[in-house]
Every structure is written in C-alpha cells, then in structure tokens.
C-alpha cells in the first residue's frame, strides 16, 4: 500500500496515510445542524477520562470543534491554533472542546505531544458527530466548528475552517456574538458571574472557578498569607469547606496580593490543609472584576452562576464573639431552595495589595 492514498467519498476528498485520516476537503457529505437550532446534548470523556455533559455548561458560550483525526497534519495545525489563543477564550468565559472519533488514549497522546490546554472529547462510534450532522461515510467527523450560546442554541456554524488560524477565526466570530461574556464584566448581586480560569498555586494548571458546574453553589474566597485577619479565618474556612463540599458546594480560594508570591501561597495552603483549590490572580484582574477589597472577602454564586451573596464569613474575627454566621446561613438557605437572609454584609480584613 502506498503511504499516501486518496479516496473519493460522496464528493469528499479524504487524504490518508495508512489508516490515519489527515484532512478533509471538498463539499460536506451531510448537512450540519443549523444555526438557531438547539444544540444536541451529549456526554463524552476527555483525554483524562473525565466525563463532560454539554448541558452542564448551560449559561456560558461553548465552542465545539469537530475534526477528523488526532495527530494528523491538518488537525494538528488546527489544535495548535486553538491552543495558542486559549487565554483569550478564557478571558471571554468561553469553553472550548475538540471532538473526534478516536479514543481517550489517542486524545491523551495528542494532548501530551502538542501541549494542548483544552479538553479533547472521545466520540468513539461517532454518536455526537452524527447528532450534529458532521459524521462522514468513512465514520470520522468532518471539520466543522459550532458556537453554542449560553442558552444552549447553536449561534454559528463554521464549515470553512482555516486550520492555520482557526483560533483567530473563532475569536473574531465570538466578538460578534452579543451573548458572549464580556471580558469587562463586573460582579453584581442578582447577575450571573461568567466562568473564568486561574492557575492553581500547587501545580500551575488552569482551574475553572465552576469546575464541572454540577455544584449547587460556589463560594469564592479572597484570602491572603500575611494578613492576620485572613489567617484568623483559616480554620473556619477549612471547616466550612469540609462540611459543605459533600453537599455539592464548591469552594475556591483566590490570592490577588502582589506582595505574596505563588510558592508562598502554595505553602500556606498546604500548611493550613485547605481542601479546596487555591488560585493565583496575577495582576489582580479577577479581584477587580469582583471589586474585592479585603481578605477575607466572600462571594457566593448559586447553581446557575448568579451572585447571591457578598460580604463576610461571620461578624467577628474572634470566634467567641460571633453572633451572625453569614456564610453558613447563606449556604443553608441556598441548599434549601431559599433566598439568603442577607444578600450583602460588610466585609472586613486587610486590603488587597494591588499592582500599581
């Protein structure tokens, strides 16, 4: 068999090397799901075996980039282009997925080889590709990208994918979408907080504030390593997280202090046994979005990502003098399907040391 083989399938040219499809060109063999239609739901594993259900990302913009095959020339160029623009996608609160019919092991090898920083979903059998109308007769996905709005509808369908600059191509279209979260959002009670990602202080990997988005509430805590008031709450933060995490409440610590380097923050988290991820907000951009001023300062979002509480953990640095358990009361109310007793309280602590 020759190394390079061309096969004509229903007007679609498939260029292959052995059994590995490299790229697709020509007319599409099937009609993709059209813009304005509900995005078909699916659940697929990524390169690490983690399951992703599309409907769990309702409330944010999602990019689904179907492609023919892992580690082939055209698909590699496309993946690199998306990879290199991932920080801009994250700033916009956009979740990107690549999808092809190869298995989890293949996805893991592709990610490791190219340093890909977004999930690749293993659509073995092509069920999702079939749902979206992009499954070719050869049993592989055609190169088509879908932009899904926060309401779960298909906003754009990209059939003329430019593998060399697909990241820029998608970003240009996203900026035309009114539903895409703005990079200039500001936290307001009763308004949605877009997803965002920051590096974990323990391993440097990017962490989404909402994680898998299946939790009933999300608690964001701005904390510090050198602030005596924040440190007075370390045990309380740890205890609250241990008590409420089993109830599907997600806790995230954020350090925005320019004077506290990442290794120091990582060691502080380890010494205090925090069971939640601690993220580093270099340049205090996320603190600015929340208009957070103190450590500790708390923000609580409900299951839909709506900001429901902002303020203090409780009303006294000294545990013996506490009369109002504000964070605990907020979480109990949300878990019971009720409104928090108070949407806002006055936070107190050390000021966040911002960049000048």
Query: What pTM did the predictor assign?
Result: 0.56
Residue 317, pLDDT above cutoff 70: yes
Where does the chain show beta strands of DSSP type E?
4-9, 12-17, 20-26, 43-45, 51-53, 62-66, 95-100, 120-122, 144-148, 154-158, 197-199, 206-208, 217-222, 249-255, 278-280, 294-295, 297-302, 307-311, 350-351
Cis preceding linkage at 62, omega within 30: no
DSSP state of 7: E
Higher pLDDT: 276 or 305? It is 276
The structural domains of the chain, ordered by start, are: 26-174 (3.40.30.10), 197-351 (3.40.30.10)
pLDDT tier for residue 145 given thresholds of 50, 70 and 90: very high
Catalytic residues: 75
Say what the pLDDT of residue 213 is.
62
Most confident of 62-66, 136-140, 152-156, 282-286: 62-66
Of 122-126, 231-235, 321-325, 352-356, minimum mean pLDDT range: 352-356
| CA–CA separation, 221 and 28 (whole Å) | 49
Residue 66, pLDDT above cutoff 50: yes
Of 9-18, 42-51, 255-264, minimum mean pLDDT range: 9-18
pLDDT > 90: what percent of the chain? 71
Is residue 148 within 8 Å of residue 39, measured between CB atoms? yes
Task: Give the list of residues 6+ apart from residue 283 with CB closer than 8 angstroms, or none.
Answer: 258, 355
Residue 2, pLDDT above cutoff 80: no
Of 150-154, 286-290, 309-313, minimum mean pLDDT range: 150-154
Instruction: Please name which of 262, 274, 286, 297 lies closest in space to residue 195, comparing C-alpha atoms.
Output: 286
pLDDT digits (tens, 9 = 90+) for 174-208: 876 654 444 567 899 998 888 777 889 998 887 88
**What integer is the mean pLDDT of 311-317?**
97
Is residue 141 within 8 Å of residue 126, measured between CB atoms? yes
pLDDT > 70: what percent of the chain? 88
Average pLDDT, the chain: 88
Is residue 67 within 8 Å of residue 170, measured between CB atoms? no
| CA–CA separation, 68 and 101 (whole Å) | 8
* Overall size of the chain counted in residues: 356
Residue 7, pLDDT above cutoff 80: no
pLDDT tier for residue 10 given thresholds of 50, 70 and 90: very low
Q: Which residues pair with 219 in a beta bridge?
A: 251, 300
Sequence-ordered alpha helix ranges (H) in the chain: 73-84, 86-91, 104-114, 127-131, 166-174, 228-232, 234-244, 262-271, 285-290, 326-335
Instruction: Please name which of 20, 120, 41, 32 lies closest in space to residue 78, comparing C-alpha atoms.
Output: 120
Is residue 83 within 8 Å of residue 204, measured between CB atoms? no
């Amino acid at each position: 068999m020759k190394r390079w083989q061309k096969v004509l399938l229903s007007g679609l040219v498939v260029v292959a090397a052995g059994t590995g499809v490299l790229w697709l060109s020509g007319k599409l063999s099937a009609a993709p799901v059209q813009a304005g239609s509900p995005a078909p739901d699916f659940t697929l594993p990524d390169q690490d075996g983690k399951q992703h259900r599309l409907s769990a990302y309702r409330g944010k913009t999602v990019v689904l980039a179907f492609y023919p095959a892992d580690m082939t020339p055209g698909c590699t160029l496309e993946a690199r282009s998306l990879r290199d623009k991932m920080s801009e996608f994250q700033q916009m609160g956009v979740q990107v997925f690549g999808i092809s019919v190869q298995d989890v092991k293949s996805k893991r090898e592709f990610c490791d080889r190219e340093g890909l920083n977004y999930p690749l979903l293993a659509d073995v059998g092509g069920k999702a590709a079939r749902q979206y109308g992009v499954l070719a007769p050869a049993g592989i996905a055609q190169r088509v990208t879908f932009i899904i709005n926060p309401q779960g509808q298909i906003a754009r369908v990209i059939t003329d994918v430019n593998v060399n600059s697909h990241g820029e191509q998608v970003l240009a279209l996203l900026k035309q979408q009114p539903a895409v979260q703005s990079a200039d959002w500001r936290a307001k009670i009763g308004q949605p907080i877009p997803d965002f990602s920051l590096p974990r202080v323990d391993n440097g990997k990017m962490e989404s504030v909402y994680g898998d988005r299946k939790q009933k509430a999300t608690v964001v805590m701005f904390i510090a390593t050198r602030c005596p008031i924040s440190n007075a709450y370390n045990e309380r933060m740890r205890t609250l997280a241990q008590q409420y995490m089993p109830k599907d409440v997600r806790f995230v610590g954020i350090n925005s202090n320019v004077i506290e380097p990442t290794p120091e923050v990582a060691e502080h988290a380890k010494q205090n046994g925090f069971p939640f991820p601690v993220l580093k907000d270099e340049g205090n951009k996320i603190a600015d979005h929340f208009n957070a001023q103190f450590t500790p300062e708390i923000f609580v979002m409900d299951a839909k990502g709506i900001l429901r509480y902002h303020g203090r953990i409780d009303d006294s640095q000294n545990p013996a003098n506490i009369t109002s358990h504000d964070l605990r009361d907020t979480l109990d109310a949300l878990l019971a399907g009720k409104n928090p007793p108070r949407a806002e309280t006055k936070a107190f602590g050390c000021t966040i040391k911002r960049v000048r």
